[in-house]
Amino acid sequence: MPTLSIAELTERFPDFRVALVVAEEMSVAPTRSAALRSEIEAAEAECRRRWRGTELSAIPGVAAWRVAYKGFGIKRTSYRSSVERLIKRVLADGPLPEVNALVDLYNLASLSSELCLGCDDLDLTAGDLSFRFSRPGDSFVDMGAEAGEDPNDPPKVGEVVFADARHVLCRRWNWRQDARSGVSVKTRRAALTVQSNGFGEVERAAARVAALIERECGGRCRVVVAERTRPTVAF
């Protein structure tokens, strides 16, 4: 049985917790349902109502990840956590991006909880999963590379990454995702990570994600949680 481990990080980041939602037997729609669209629009409106006029650094979910990023040497705000990017976009009156039902529902959960969420196609990953420090030889193909940019962008020394047995799946915890394991309408099995670094309830957000997947994608889900006192969990 494969495992998820955060063991390398617990000494330096004792507050780091991850809920892993394993979803199977899914059918991912290319567009949002009417119900999902309504919930996303309501979450966008609530984010603007709650945080309009507030500095990003004063939003608890954003502040927690800025501290975590500084913990391994990232000080520039050009490197924003995934939840900070979502909140910043919505506060600038932009909508959450429309990708497919699975991506859209976990972005909804992220915006609502102020937690960082990520998702990989389990059939495109290999072996155990881990949040760890980068290693020599780690490879990464940037899903978010701009036109003309080289997508081959290996992590820097000491950077926190999310990886499988073959390569890095996400750089800087949750900053950029690898193009080789991204979810799509072809995805039938997925691993979604709900990440906290001192703020937020990963269990509650994971339960919402699981319920949304079962409603929107027809899948069945199970949830496991890795934390300092139990850094390696089977899934």
- Residues 83-125: tens digit of each pLDDT: 999 999 999 999 999 999 999 999 999 999 999 999 999 999 9
- The span from the CA of 200 to the CA of 202, in Å, is 6
| Residue 34 backbone phi and psi in degrees, to 5 | -60, -40
- The span from the CA of 210 to the CA of 204, in Å, is 10
Burial zone of 89 (CB within 10 Å; 0-12 exposed, 13-18 middle, 19+ buried): middle
Q: Domain map of the chain by residue range? A: 3-142+155-234
Q: What percent of the chain has pLDDT over 90?
A: 89
Mean of the pLDDT values across residues 57-85?
Answer: 87
Amino acid 95: pLDDT? 97
Q: Give the three-class secondary structure for 68.
A: helix
Residues 142-180 as b/e (b if ≥16 CB within 10 A, e otherwise) read beeeeeeeeeebbbeeebbbbbbeebbbbbbbbbbbbeb
Q: What percent of the chain has pLDDT over 70?
A: 98
Our measurement of the distance from residue 118's CA atom to the centroid of its chain's CA atoms, rounded to an integer in Å, reads: 2
- The span from the CA of 228 to the CA of 60, in Å, is 21
Mean of the pLDDT values across residues 68-89?
Answer: 85
Please name which of 158, 165, 55, 79 lies closest in space to residue 120, comparing C-alpha atoms. Answer: 165
Amino acid 77: pLDDT? 63
Mean of the pLDDT values across residues 211-231?
Answer: 97
Please name which of 217, 214, 235 lies closest in space to residue 225, comparing C-alpha atoms. Answer: 235
Residue 24 — pLDDT band, cuts 50, 70, 90? Answer: very high
CATH topology of domain 3-142+155-234: Phenylalanyl-tRNA Synthetase; Chain B, domain 3 (3.50.40)
Judged against a pLDDT cut of 90, whether residue 6 lies above it is answered with yes
Residue 157 — pLDDT band, cuts 50, 70, 90? Answer: confident
Amino acid 177: pLDDT? 95
